[in-house]
Amino acid sequence: MELSLEEKAGQLIMTYFHGETANEEAKTLIQDTKIGGIIYYTWSNGLTSPKQVKTLSEKLQEFALTNPNPIPLLIATDQETGIVNRLKEGFTLFPGNRAVGEIKDAKIAETIGLYVGRELKNVGINMNLAPVVDVNNNPKNPVIGVRSFGEDPELVSLLGQGALNGYKKANVIATLKHFPGHGDTTTDSHENLPIVHKSQEELEKVELSPFKALAPSAQAIMTAHILTAFDSQHCATISKSTLDYLRETIGFQGVIVSDSLVMEGLLKQCQTIDEAAIRSLNAGCDLLLLGGRLLSGERKNELSVADIQRVHRSIIAAVESGRISEERINQAVERVLNLKTQIDCHENDFSLKDHQNFAQKVASLALKTIKNDKKLIASLHEKSIAIVAPHILQQDIQKTHFLEAGKQVDLHGFNPTNVDLEKIKQDTQNADVIFIFSYNAWKTPSQAALIQSLIDTNKPVALFVVKDPIDASLFPNANLILNTFDPTFFSIQAIYNFLYQLKGPEKKTDSSSCFSITKNSL
């Protein structure tokens, strides 16, 4: 297949568009700019049901396959499980990696990868930007945390391999992230440029260990916008020495995907997205992710079609001027096209009910009892219970049986960063028992003050730690402390099941299918 320079440059771009249907914006990107991939976000594409997503995927592929050179799209999303899930309505929200890490069973990781992959593939998503294989050896990491399987590199490798095996069985492309390892940082690369203060030898023992172990099985690896011992001047995404290590020392021959080029960690070094794209390609990235983002409800660095077209033209101009060699552009295109030959979207048969039952089983296995005063949970049905939880958890709590847990149950929500302490103390003063859900209290002083204040009332208090496990060590005087390592529905239900020994709810199955892309499509 002979591709023009414009087509080659387009194939190296994965980006998003605004719309729940395959609209003119999408058509322009796919048929005029010839982009190679689409990434779905809830805020840009709705993702309101499996049927909506499936129809969207099919129409987008129709745009691509009616081009003069009919090359199928990579259609991707971030369905990591746990706290990062783009697809929610009609999909199974499995407990996240850290919960799986507590169980330490590669077969469970594999089954989750298989089940997530099945659900993605049947709505036309052929690539998942998962699993996360960062070793979270900093308990106060602001961006990885429970997205990681844990702090042991061997365990991360074991469970990462399980996840890869599951995605392979589902015929969905998996993406290891974030090379060379984002686990020991104190800065979120969405907001600034993190630095890992370790020697190369130290990195090789911990951070790099999963990537070395898993590279032979991986089809794609995503970079991190972090500074390491490989290159003190350039973050990994634009560091040739760092990505050469991945290619030459580790021996990875698949597609290197950049993390989103709109993130502040990278733009601190590149100033413009156009410059970031050029430098990422020259460093060794093959597929450039132009993702948008939402911070605090405000859209920041969000790209328009014109912005994406400008980046596309900048890549072309860089090749024409010799700043990017034709050899480098051809090498990247060849890898991307080879990845696309591996796309297989044959219809999957599965039971959503089975997936959800398995998710509940995983959540229950992961639940850890830190402290258990059995007197607190005796005869709960006869007691007045006040449930105190961050607003973000309230909807899932209401879906469980928690509101039927006592003779009277009141749910009180709060904003973790700005708690109305006096109001909650007043609202809970008549309760016999207080249930508190903590959501990273270690980094929100007002939430920590709330929890301690309620414990100091000397009422019986149950503390449910649903995100970073460090919270469990901060409030030793709670009567009951349970750690879920995950804040999603099934983990909250697992707490209820533990307290009341009840089975989790059943839900209806929603199955769908997607078309097939074969090697002959290229």
Measured CA to CA in angstroms, residue 475 lies from 370, 375, 438, 461 at distances of 11, 19, 10, 11
**Residue in the block written with tokens 């771009």:** 13
Structure token pair of residue 306: 């014109």
Whether 355 is catalytic: no
Which has the closest alpha carbon to 491: 374, 393, 415?
393
Q: Cα separation of 140 and 123, whole Å? A: 36
**Element containing residue 319 per DSSP (H, E):** helix 305-320
Place of tokens 């105190």: 388
Cβ contact 438:447 at 8 Å: yes
| Whole-number Å distance between alpha carbons of 164 and 170 | 10
Give the amino acid at 51.
K
Beta strands in 339-432 (DSSP E): 368-372, 384-390, 408-414
CA atoms within 13 A on the CB side of 42: 11
Sign of CA dihedral 50, 53, 59, 61: negative
Selection from 465, 483, 507, 463 nearest residue 359 by Cα: 507
Extract the tokens encoding 398. 């209401």
User: Catalytic pick from 259, 274, 396, 468?
Assistant: 259
Question: Is the link from the previous residue into 178 a cis peptide, with omega within 30 of 0?
Answer: yes
Please pick, among 190, 225, 312, 355, the residue that the annotation labels catalytic: 190
244 is catalytic: no
Question: Is 458 within 8 Å of 73 (Cβ atoms)?
Answer: no
Catalytically active residues are 190, 259
